[in-house]
Structure 1
């Protein structure tokens, strides 16, 4: 779902550098993303890189922010889809993903260099806070409309949904198989379905 580096020819140097850094962070992590590797993938010289960015941390921040923005936009498309709260959460959870590569934002939480830097960590932290809040809002709307039972706790359930999704990525990568991810999604959706007003 995330289109990081496609055809970069014709794209300006700054964009090529950001897109290349995004891809490398996803593949190799922060330490493995060297300025030289970024320049080679972007087809840009050292002078061009330092003309646009003060250094690797500055470029990494731009890349992480871009990835976080794309994740939010993709999630919001599901949350704004027509239908009940459960249908909208389902649209979000079942959208196309490159499961075996993992979540490009979630994987950053396993990168000690990113987590140790408050500036680089901030967009990651903000993204997950936003995601939990948006899911909670959708669930609260469903409860107010009578689609979901009053017993459902929107905030706690939203955190559960995010935790299951991220855990699903981990299980899928460990097994080198997307089936555990699909099972995790099925499981959390079944739990949500038990809270629908017509669940029985």
Structure 2
């Protein structure tokens, strides 16, 4: 499954990332991680102090990847609406859900300040990044000056995260896509 050149710690982290996304923290046992990574118990505990330590490394990596992916679509100096639309319309595996957002539904992650921290920081970063882009649009006259940029940014994040939930519940990406189309219609600047 993994390349021969991938180190054991890398295989363990990547396996944990995948299993956390599929099963959540509670459903991801050390044995499942070891089997998925093709690593022995000794190897796992040689590199990580236990499941929480390994999960934290995996969650941090997932959070960094989510930020990089979002930034790739949000970067630039084009119109704010176009940048937000690019973020909302980018290709996603909506039926799998958000690998970071799904962790908020895991009681063990939420109960642990350490495991919850990269999740909270990433979602906060995304809201702040979007608020900055909306503010650029306000400053350029693309959007009404009466917009609360923080509220709009929160609505964008909520639409994406809620869209994942709706898509998973219906078994169809159409629910996600409908939410995105609706939000974009509300955000569309008036000529």
- The two structures have a TM-score, normalised by structure 2, of 0.97
Alignment of 1:178-193 (within 5 A): 178-193=173-188
Q: CA RMSD in A?
A: 1.1
2:65 corresponds to: 70
2:21 corresponds to: 26
- How many residue pairs get aligned? The number is 191
**2: CA distance between counterparts of 1:83 and 1:20?**
38
Where in structure 2 are there 5+ consecutive unaligned residues?
none
User: Is residue 31 of structure 2 the alignment partner of residue 36 of structure 1?
Assistant: yes
1:103 corresponds to: 98
| Deviation for aligned residue 1:152 | 1.6
Within the candidate set 123, 131, 135, 1:128 is matched to: 123
| Deviation for aligned residue 1:10 | 2.1
Secondary structure of the structure 1 residue equivalent to 2:24:
helix
| Deviation for aligned residue 1:82 | 4.7
Per-residue displacement from partner, 1:42-74 (whole Å, max 9, x unpaired)? Answer: 011111111110100000000000000000000
**2: CA distance between counterparts of 1:110 and 1:183?**
23
- Contact 1:90 1:189 (8 Å CA) reproduced: yes
2:167 corresponds to: 172
Within the candidate set 5, 8, 17, 1:10 is matched to: 5
| Deviation for aligned residue 1:171 | 0.4
